[in-house]
Amino acid sequence: MKSLRVAPLTLLLLAVAQAQAASYPQPQQGDYVIRDFAFASGEILPELKLHYTTIGSPAVDQTGVVTNAVLVLHGTGGSGGGFLTEQFAGTLFGPGQPLDAQRYYLILPDSIGAGKSSKPSDGLRGHFPRYTYDDMVRAQHLLVLDHLHVKHLRLILGTSMGGMHAWLWGGRYPDFMDALMPMACLPAPIAGRNRMQRRLITDAIRNDPEWRNGDYDKQPRGLISALQMNVISTASAEQLQRLAPNPSAADKLLDNLVNQRLASVDANDYLYQWDASRTYDPRPGLSKIQAEVVAVNSADDEVNPPELGVVEREIARVRHARYVLIPAGEKTIGHRTFYVTELWKALLPELLERSHGR
């Protein structure tokens, strides 16, 4: 009797696990070490490691060119593996979904300074090269071209910082991709409130006596203030009001969100990640972009407020571009609305079809 009662439950759990695992091919992990990588600052790192995840297999045409590669770029402090959630990968990478990994070869790198790629907390601390977005994009290009032997991309999809990287890719390597989808970002230098928020984050760490120029024994208390600022700036005011409708609920929510991050965030890494945007300016390359572009923002993104009109102004320089602003509503969540794929994933098949063979 005992076996009859347990077996059905066991079989059910196995079936669920197998169904989840089969929703898209098993992700593969890898590392690429770039020797003597020269940063824009003039600093040189003898070995720069880029960690990456791939899903699916490359399809090669008669000339040996990979024809189905898609590069997916993460935001500040994230990682390529951070996309592997049911909410994101589970709605995009499965059979019949817009980025079906049985059809496309998906490449999800960890950018310099994040995930399992080289970063200050690996040992150099405050002596790690002070990298920029341009350095990060150049390293991604080396990974894709020299290591994975992909000479052309069907699509680059980037979220937040990854979206800014997508704009830089389009201008720096204009014939390298068919399509771009930069999300939750602006094709212009970081200025105004966005820049001030980043200053607050980096100053909170740099100005803490416990930071000691990066040579701290324990995480400086300024990291808490930096994380608090990030929580406030990336969520929508409506969402925070709904989740925390009274003073005690607001205090509890803020503390919980910060504490969730504290266990896995290093102050030097966090400082470098936010500081890297200081030279970002894709404008010189916008007119060079040859790819089909769909830029996507959400109306309640307080990091990139739509009322500034930046996207509309700058996107006019791009030959084949469309701007989609997701209206604020019950399902939007501010800056991170890109995780709510049901609000925008229908744009992907149209973009991929329109850009085919570009």
CB 82 within 8 A of CB 117: no
**In the block, residue with structure tokens 């390597």:** 173
Question: What is the C-alpha separation between 255 and 270, in angstroms, rounded?
Answer: 18
CATH number, domain with residue 117: 3.40.50.1820
The string of pLDDT tens digits covering residues 40-54 is 999 999 999 999 999
**Same structural domain for residues 50 and 34?**
yes
Using the CB atoms, write b or e for 278-298: b if 16+ within 10 Å. eebbbeebbeebbbbbbbbbb
Would you place residue 125 in the very low, low, confident or very high pLDDT band (cuts 50, 70, 90)? Answer: very high
Q: Where are the beta strands (DSSP E) in the chain?
A: 28-38, 44-55, 69-73, 105-109, 153-159, 177-183, 292-298, 321-326
Burial class of 26 by CB neighbour count within 10 A (0 to 12, 13 to 18, 19+): exposed
**Same structural domain for residues 256 and 322?**
no
Whether the pLDDT of residue 20 is over 60: the answer is no
Question: What is the C-alpha separation between 110 and 50, in angstroms, rounded?
Answer: 6
Whether the pLDDT of residue 22 is over 60: the answer is no
pLDDT at 176: 97
**Same structural domain for residues 222 and 82?**
no
DSSP annotation string for 69-106:
EEEEE--TT--GGGG-STTTHHHHSSTTSTT-TTTSEE
Q: Coil, strand or helix: which one is 160?
A: coil
In a domain, 12, yes or no: no
pLDDT at 7: 45
The string of pLDDT tens digits covering residues 336-356 is 999 999 999 999 999 999 998
| Identity of the amino acid at 205 | I
Question: What is the C-alpha separation between 239 and 259, in angstroms, rounded?
Answer: 19
Structural domain tally of the chain?
A: 2
Whether the pLDDT of residue 16 is over 70: the answer is no
**Same structural domain for residues 149 and 179?**
yes
- Helix, strand, coil percentages (3-state) for the chain, rounded to 5, are 45, 15, 35
pTM of the model: 0.92
Residue 232's domain comprises: 193-274
Whether the pLDDT of residue 13 is over 80: the answer is no
When pLDDT is averaged across residues 148-167 and rounded to a whole number, the result is 98
Whether the pLDDT of residue 18 is over 70: the answer is no
Dihedral, CA of residue 138, residue 46, residue 54 and residue 112, to nearest 10? -60
In a domain, 15, yes or no: no
Would you place residue 277 in the very low, low, confident or very high pLDDT band (cuts 50, 70, 90)? Answer: very high
pLDDT at 162: 98
In a domain, 7, yes or no: no
When pLDDT is averaged across residues 213-232 and rounded to a whole number, the result is 96
Dihedral, CA of residue 351, residue 189, residue 172 and residue 316, to nearest 10? 50
Cα–Cα distances in Å, from 66 out to 58, 72, 76, 85?
6, 16, 29, 26
In a domain, 185, yes or no: yes
**Same structural domain for residues 174 and 50?**
yes
pLDDT at 8: 46
In a domain, 234, yes or no: yes
Establish how many alpha carbons lie within 13 A of residue 212's alpha carbon, considering only the half-sphere containing its beta carbon: 8
- Domain boundary (274, 298, 318) is at 274
**Dihedrals φ, ψ of 189, to 5°?**
-55, 150
- Domain boundary (274, 294, 309) is at 274
**Same structural domain for residues 292 and 268?**
no
Which of 19-33, 100-114, 150-164 is the least confident region?
Answer: 19-33
Cα–Cα distances in Å, from 336 out to 104, 195, 233, 244?
25, 18, 11, 18
pLDDT at 358: 65
Length of the chain, please?
358
CB 139 within 8 A of CB 45: no
